[in-house]
Amino acid sequence: MAEDLGERCEELAHEVLAPLVLGGPMHPVRPFGGRLGLSLGIQREIVDLDLRSRLDVARVRRARLLAPVDALPPLDESDWAVLAAFNDLVQLTNQHLVTVFTRRSYARLLGNVRWLCERIPAPRDVLGVISRHATFCRALELVRTDSSVKWWTGSARFRGETPPTRLTAWKDLRRVEIDATRVPLTEMTLGLKGIASDDFNDALALWLTRSPLTDLAEATRKAPAFSWSASTLSLIATTPGRSLAFRALSRHPADRVAAALSRANAQIPSSLDEARELAIGFTSEVAAGRAQLVEQGKGSEGEPKSRASRG
């Protein structure tokens, strides 16, 4: 059993973690489910030393965009659980997951993803926050290429699959037209029977809270809309965390950041006075900080310098 788990971890590292951090095509592996995902990474590390080294370098490079760190800790069991949950989230977009014999596969897997995410602890310290963000910050960049093929007698659509050569052969004679569309992660379940897009995005939003700096850094996203959680509020409750969050948000247009944070502030129940005060105070500090950056970056003729304008 332990040997099998080791093989599955290595497969997960090569097929999901490596593309997530280094780039390249991702091939999600068999779903792990809740309990296995939670225990998967106990005393576990990547066996492939070359891959481990390349991941370490890439993660540090990403982390240094926000903090002057020279090294990051290896993935701990919570990080492996976050990775397993992400793998299962992507599997929810797989149209082949359900057959006539397993029509409840989506609902069962969605429930397992939620169960797992609810039990993964937030990072223990600031370095853990940075490390987890450096590992998962590109998750929302994931896209799938769908292809629509038309020919003189029919048409076919392929979700994330290369059209078979029998349909694309003799392009001129058969009047073949191929239209490729890049579909972002948040839209991958649209039109998929068995799971509602809103349910998928709710699960994705929950998953994002397990990496609070990533959640805040992507606050301007269209979907799932950013909302304050215990982990993101805990992050901005400390001075180092507040600074990290400000640096991450400074990479986005000021008006979009203000709109996203204000919308999230309005959703905090009025009964949670302390949380509401914390969020509103942070929003004000972000706005003031951005204004100060622009002011400091003004040239002699009163125009913001290019570096300051990028936030």
Q: What are the structural domain ranges in the chain?
A: 1-140+194-211, 144-186, 219-311
- Give the pLDDT band (50/70/90) at residue 101: very low
- Find the mean pLDDT for residues 181-198: 92
In sign, the C-alpha dihedral spanning 153, 191, 92, 227 is positive
What pLDDT is recorded for position 170? 81
In sign, the C-alpha dihedral spanning 196, 197, 199, 200 is positive
Distance CA 61, CA 7 (A): 28
As a whole number, the mean pLDDT across the chain is 89
With a pLDDT cut of 90, the percent of the chain lying above it is 70
Alpha carbons within 13 angstroms on the beta-carbon side of residue 233 total 16
Distance CA 284, CA 242 (A): 12
- pLDDT, tens digit, for every residue of 14-52? 999 999 999 999 999 999 999 999 999 888 899 999 999
- pLDDT, tens digit, for every residue of 210-264? 999 999 999 999 999 999 999 999 999 999 999 999 999 999 999 999 999 999 9
What pLDDT is recorded for position 102? 57
What pLDDT is recorded for position 5? 85
Give the global pTM.
0.88
Ranges assigned E (strand) in 126-245: 143-151, 154-158, 177-184
What pLDDT is recorded for position 121? 95
